[in-house]
């Protein structure tokens, strides 16, 4: 039996002298205001125990990590037809790239680049008003984490709405190919709010637990998705969850994971635990600098890499 608290504490100690590394995302003005000298880690094991260190109880903007939750909802709603509108291949280009979209006729490479996530949001929006779709996501995340205090930071959503020119371009471009079914401002209204979900590492590690436990949340006993669907979502996170740094993350960490420009990373060690790390400074490809290092240390100390100990 491993002493997870000791592992979490030692990772925190290794990160302390390096606080502030990386560069905080500033293209969303609200995110630029976050103090970079923070690091948090939380691990929830499949028996339901949460271990934390550092700023694990400070809420932060989960940004693209929300794409995992929205994809889960979209698959529940539309099943495999989701894949008629979005691919499952790593993109090898940056998260907000528009280049591939033209060559590939408005079908984004995967659900975790911005264009793909916007299509996924459009799928969840169908049959709803934007407000209802946002409510559905918020209820879903609260249900997953078993925590009704989780909320959306409206200031962050508004900040992104005001400066999200690139996302408007992506959405309009896809609409011109017929791959967006709702008015651009509706779909993006939902997208900006999902990205503005505010969660702590502890909450996020609990919300991801169903993916570590064959689709069933051990905290509540609820089956969220089938075993097969959990496996497939994990596969997508492994191949596409870290922008064009996904190969490098698999090489160094070896766990399915999804990062966000708020500096958070949610990772899944199937059969063992769900992990959340957060530190706002990002590396060159837009993943949390300390978060990536911390997860590499974790994989080394625990032997949890999906590629073998
Ligand atoms: N809301 C951000 C955007 O669309 C999410 C980016 C990210 O976390 O990768 O630009």
The tens digit of pLDDT for each residue in 18-29 reads 999 999 999 999
Q: How far apart are CA 156 and CA 278, in angstroms?
A: 17
The per-residue pLDDT for 275 is 98
**SS3 category, 267:** strand
Distance 85 CA to ligand 1 centre (A): 20
Q: How far apart are CA 140 and CA 134, in angstroms?
A: 10
| Intervals of the chain under pLDDT 70 | none
Give the catalytic positions in this structure: 64, 67, 191, 243, 261
**SS3 category, 176:** helix
Q: State which ligand 1 atom lies nearest to the alpha carbon of 95.
A: 9
CB 121 near ligand 1, within 6 Å? no
The per-residue pLDDT for 91 is 85
Distance 163 CA to ligand 1 centre (A): 12
Q: State which ligand 1 atom lies nearest to the alpha carbon of 286.
A: 9
The per-residue pLDDT for 279 is 98
The per-residue pLDDT for 133 is 98
Distance of CA 90 to the CA centre of its chain: 15
The per-residue pLDDT for 108 is 96
Taking the complete model, does pTM exceed 0.95, yes or no?
yes
The per-residue pLDDT for 224 is 98
- Cα–Cα–Cα angle for 45, 50, 53, nearest 5°? 120
The per-residue pLDDT for 87 is 97
The per-residue pLDDT for 243 is 87
The per-residue pLDDT for 153 is 98
Q: How far apart are CA 278 and CA 260, in angstroms?
A: 10
CB 64 near ligand 1, within 6 Å? yes
């Amino acid at each position: 039996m491993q002493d997870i608290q000791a592992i979490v504490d030692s990772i925190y100690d290794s990160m302390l002298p390096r606080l502030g590394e990386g560069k905080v995302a500033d293209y969303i003005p609200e995110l630029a205001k976050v103090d970079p000298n923070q690091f948090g880690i939380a691990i929830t094991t499949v028996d339901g125990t949460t271990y934390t260190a550092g700023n694990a109880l400070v809420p932060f903007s989960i940004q693209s990590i929300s794409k995992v939750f929205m994809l889960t909802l979209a698959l529940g709603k539309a099943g495999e037809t989701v894949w008629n509108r979005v691919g499952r291949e790593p993109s090898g280009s940056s998260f907000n790239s528009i280049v591939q979209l033209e060559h590939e006729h408005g079908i984004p490479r995967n659900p975790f680049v911005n264009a793909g996530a916007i299509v996924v949001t459009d799928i969840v929006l169908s049959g709803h008003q934007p407000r209802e779709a946002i409510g559905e996501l918020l209820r879903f995340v609260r249900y997953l984490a078993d925590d009704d205090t989780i909320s959306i930071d409206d200031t962050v959503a508004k900040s992104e709405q005001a400066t999200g020119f690139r996302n408007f371009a992506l959405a309009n471009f896809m609409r011109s190919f017929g791959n967006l079914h709702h008015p651009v401002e509706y779909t993006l209204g939902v997208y900006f709010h999902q990205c503005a979900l505010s969660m702590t590492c502890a909450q996020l590690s609990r919300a991801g637990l169903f993916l570590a436990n064959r689709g069933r949340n051990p905290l509540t006993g609820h089956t969220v998705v089938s075993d097969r669907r959990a496996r497939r979502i994990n596969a997508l996170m492994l191949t596409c969850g870290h922008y064009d740094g996904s190969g490098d993350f698999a090489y160094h960490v070896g766990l399915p994971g999804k990062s966000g420009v708020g500096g958070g990373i949610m990772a899944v060690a199937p059969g063992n635990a769900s992990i959340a790390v957060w530190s706002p400074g990002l590396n060159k490809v837009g993943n949390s600098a300390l978060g990536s290092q911390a997860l590499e240390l974790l994989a080394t100390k625990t032997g949890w890499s999906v590629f073998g100990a």
